[in-house]
Chains A and B, each alone.
Chain A
Amino acid sequence: MKIYLIIIYLFVCNFNIAHLFLSAVYSSPTAIKIGSKKFTESVILGEIVTQLIKSTGELPVHQRELGGTRVLWNALIKGEIDIYPEYTGTISEEILAGEGAHSDEEIRLALSNHGIKMTKPLGFNNTYAIGMKEEVAEKLKIKKISDLRHHPDLKFGFGNEFMDRGDGWPILRKHYNLPQKNVRGLDHDLAYRGLEKGTIQVIDIYSTDAKINYYDLRLLEDDQTHFPAYNAVILYRSDLEKRAPHVITVLKKLESKITESEMIKMNSRAHLGMIPESQIASDFLSASFSLETEPYEESAIYRLLRHTGEHLFLVVISLSAAILIAIPLGILSVKLPGLGQIILGIVGIIQTIPSLALLVFMIPLLGIGGPPAIAALFLYSLLPIVRNTYTGLHDIRPQLRESAEALGLPPGARLRLVELPMVSRSILAGIKTSAVINVGTATLGALIGAGGYGQLILTGIRLDNLSLILQGAVPAAVLALIAQGCFEALEKFFVPKGLRL
């Protein structure tokens, strides 16, 4: 009985803590929510839009670095966010792929079918380009993309998004008839490092990328005009016209206001000058609109606390739910062996789904932010607990099982008074494993807007800022150790003394 009370007590405590964070982390539903993708330019644009809207008296929320196009688009459709910056090329080639929308008018029409509207271009074209180190390109005399045909041994490293988008690598290869076989998909921000180290020679790049000068890159001429224009625009939900017409008015102020060179400069300030995006946005608004806004940057300590809160929220809720569900599932698997094989099979299969894929699967069901991340973490936490409960109960010596039966205890009492206490150590070991996996996997929650330490890691990778990566990675590791330590301490309460001698 004691064990149940403790489990319930822990759950209730967790829930209270979680509720506390919930209110702190996730904002009110009526606030205007701006999203941005996980690259610097998008974050800066998101910040500009946010500060501009703030100047109208609204209290907008900027959900930074939510992920890639799919995540942002789905969030916009579902109303998880109201506004985000996008590029016309991405809209026609990826979001509306196959709908044959190419001109701005066609795009507008197709978007309106989804309940989405688009501003006029903001003024700059951030197209995809193919880049190489200047010295390597010079040595090999490569100036145009078509020159790559004569160098089949070059190694290509493309951002994962570029690997399979409508105008990405497969089509580029066909268009230019490129022979290279050694092509890998990797995180876009990591591609620069590969280029520096020489493990790859050719990467995809954005034409307003701050790193073009920093890494001394040559952009290859698109001599057979493969890449469409990527004019920056702002997408917003049509319902905003009724909900907050003044917001649309200020959004339109940004039309034709940002030139290519201005955007490159802003990107450089963020990447090379390590200036916060909010400051860059504020400076832009001040210069272009004479609008004085207050850039909001939280202190490092507050930021760490906030991410700790978000991370704990994800872990505590998902793990508590997993404990409450997985132990009964483990018991059921032993008592009904036929069903048990199915249960163990399913939780096993869940474990093999790549975490990023599982997170993205959750978005259509649960939107972005905490809930889908918690659902995914919950699913990942099941296997170790179910399996350890199952194995523990399954391996109880038959003599002991029969002794309990021979005493005249009914099945429920046997489970409660004899079997579960005897396997408590095994169950707790499963919970410990789940907790450590959970803390680690929760860092991926940042990819879909759930925050946590992963946010610092993502931003660190994006800005090539090792200190920021460590600010996320070290607390995550420490939290994993603390979680393990806590459960080890709990052994004294959960595991009967007779089993610890």
Chain B
Amino acid sequence: MITIEGVSKTYGKTTALHSIDLTIPTGQTTVFIGQSGCGKSTILRLIIGLIQAECGSVFFEGTRVTPETAISLRRKMGYVIQEGGLFPHLTAYGNVALMARYLGWSEERIKERLNVLTELTHFPSEGLKRFPVQLSGGQQQRVSLMRALMLDPDVLLLDEPLGALDPMIRADLQVDLKAIFQTLGKTVVLVTHDIAEAGFFGDVITLLRDGRVLQKGTLEELVQSPADPFVTRFINAQRSPLDSMKKDLG
């Protein structure tokens, strides 16, 4: 379980988070949604300890996340960002195996783990020899996901993992990702700005605005009983093409 207690974060003069309290339940998929700059990515970066809060604390499985504890805690978390963040000098294999090699895993154990992961993520094993520049955007994200899962972490943190992909590839990956989440049963924290994607993945959706939690609930709750007019505006802003067709047909 991840607990966030009274956390505030500012970048220079802008405040990214205003004294947030949150609990992220174990084994579920929690989605943070909101406009750019609402503070949703900041929450992920605080959990994995890339940044530190000015006040308040973040606890991961009971341990407070500090610069000192972060290095070992991170090995229990997998982190995937929008454009993969794959290291260009390493092959897909090298990227995925980097941390395991550092920890002294045998090559045999690494290969075994990779067999499991390529199957899970539907990544062709011959692609493991390729360098990131030789892979498509969708494949890069699959490699990035394998890298995040390599050490079998308790928690997966995904920051707009599909944000830079073509719609068709994105739809494929959404389906695959959801299947993976269900297979693994891990705690997943996903950040997106796309309400349809949030509804597709999220057991619980948390809508943020200007560094504050506006509403927390299922997609139905957000649609049917919005806590604030902004919730409805945010949901309606992302209409599906089918809506406009319906309107035209009258």
Question: Which A residues are closer than 8 A to B by beta carbons?
Answer: 399-400, 402-410, 413, 417-418, 421-422, 424, 496-499, 501
**Cα–Cα, bound, A473→B81 (Å):** 55
**Within the complex, which residue of B50, B79, B89, B147 is in contact with A496, where a contact is CB–CB below 8 Å?**
B89
Q: Is the CB of B134 within 8 A of A422?
A: no
**Within the complex, which residue of B75, B99, B102, B131 is in contact with A498, where a contact is CB–CB below 8 Å?**
B131
Which residues of the other chain, B, contact A407 by a CB distance below 8 angstroms?
A: 74-75, 79, 98-99, 147
- B window 85-105: CB within 8 A of A: 85-91, 98-99, 102
Closest 3 CB pairs of A and B: A403-B85, A408-B74, A496-B89
Chain A proximity of B115: nearest CB distance (Å): 21
Tell me if B231 counts as interface (CB < 8 A to partner A): no
Chain B proximity of A237: nearest CB distance (Å): 59
- Least CB separation from A400: chain B residue: B85
Known A407-B147, A496-B90; further 8 A-B contacts with Cβ < 8 A: A399-B83, A403-B79, A407-B75, A408-B99, A417-B98, A418-B87, A424-B89, A498-B87
Which of A408, A497, A501 has the most chain B CB atoms inside 10 A of its CB?
Answer: A408
Q: Is the CB of A417 within 8 A of B102?
A: yes
Q: Taking chain A's interface residues, is the majority helix, strand, or loop, or is none over half, making it mixed?
A: helix
- Least CB separation from A402: chain B residue: B50
Chain A proximity of B188: nearest CB distance (Å): 16
Q: Is the CB of A408 within 8 A of B98?
A: no
Q: Is the CB of A405 within 8 A of B133?
A: no
- B window 132-156: CB within 8 A of A: 132-134, 147
Tell me if B71 counts as interface (CB < 8 A to partner A): yes
Which residues of the other chain, A, contact B85 by a CB distance below 8 angstroms?
A: 399-400, 402-403
**Cα–Cα, bound, A144→B90 (Å):** 79
**Within the complex, which residue of A399, A402, A413, A498 is in contact with B89, where a contact is CB–CB below 8 Å?**
A498
Chain B proximity of A67: nearest CB distance (Å): 48
- Least CB separation from A404: chain B residue: B87
**Cα–Cα, bound, A407→B49 (Å):** 11
Chain B proximity of A462: nearest CB distance (Å): 52
With A413-B102, A417-B102, A501-B131 in contact, do A406 and B88 touch (Cβ < 8 Å)? Answer: no
Q: List 18 A-B contacts (CB under 8 A).
A: A399-B83, A402-B81, A402-B85, A403-B87, A406-B77, A407-B74, A407-B98, A408-B72, A408-B99, A409-B98, A417-B98, A421-B89, A424-B89, A496-B90, A497-B89, A497-B131, A498-B132, A499-B88
Q: Is the CB of B133 within 8 A of A498?
A: yes
- Least CB separation from A496: chain B residue: B89
- Least CB separation from A425: chain B residue: B89
Chain B proximity of A403: nearest CB distance (Å): 3
Chain A proximity of B129: nearest CB distance (Å): 11
Chain A proximity of B74: nearest CB distance (Å): 4
**Within the complex, which residue of B81, B89, B102, B131 is in contact with A403, where a contact is CB–CB below 8 Å?**
B81
Q: Is the CB of B98 within 8 A of A422?
A: no
Chain B proximity of A415: nearest CB distance (Å): 13
Which residues of the other chain, B, contact A399 by a CB distance below 8 angstroms?
A: 81, 83, 85
- Least CB separation from A403: chain B residue: B85
**Cα–Cα, bound, A422→B87 (Å):** 8
Digit string of B7-22 for contact with A (CB within 8 Å is 1, else 0)?
0000000000000000
Which residues of the other chain, B, contact A400 by a CB distance below 8 angstroms?
A: 85, 87-88
With A406-B48, A406-B50, A407-B98 in contact, do A498 and B91 touch (Cβ < 8 Å)? Answer: yes
Q: Is the CB of B71 within 8 A of A408?
A: yes
Chain B proximity of A243: nearest CB distance (Å): 61
Which of A409, A417, A498 has the most chain B CB atoms inside 10 A of its CB?
Answer: A498
**Cα–Cα, bound, A403→B82 (Å):** 11
**Cα–Cα, bound, A403→B144 (Å):** 10
**Cα–Cα, bound, A75→B77 (Å):** 66
Q: Is the CB of B133 within 8 A of A501?
A: yes
Q: Is the CB of B50 within 8 A of A408?
A: no
**Cα–Cα, bound, A96→B106 (Å):** 75
- Least CB separation from B85: chain A residue: A403
- Least CB separation from A399: chain B residue: B85
Q: Is the CB of A409 within 8 A of B99?
A: yes
**Within the complex, which residue of B50, B72, B73, B89 is in contact with A405, where a contact is CB–CB below 8 Å?**
B50
With A400-B87, A403-B85, A403-B87 in contact, do A501 and B74 touch (Cβ < 8 Å)? Answer: no
- Least CB separation from B90: chain A residue: A498
Which residues of the other chain, A, contact B87 by a CB distance below 8 angstroms?
A: 400, 403-404, 418, 422, 498
Which residues of the other chain, A, contact B79 by a CB distance below 8 angstroms?
A: 403, 406-407
Q: Is the CB of B50 within 8 A of A422?
A: no
- Least CB separation from A409: chain B residue: B102
**Cα–Cα, bound, A218→B86 (Å):** 78
Chain A proximity of B164: nearest CB distance (Å): 11
**Cα–Cα, bound, A409→B102 (Å):** 8
**Cα–Cα, bound, A413→B71 (Å):** 12
Which residues of the other chain, B, contact A405 by a CB distance below 8 angstroms?
A: 50, 74
**Cα–Cα, bound, A424→B134 (Å):** 20
- Least CB separation from B88: chain A residue: A498
Which residues of the other chain, B, contact A404 by a CB distance below 8 angstroms?
A: 87
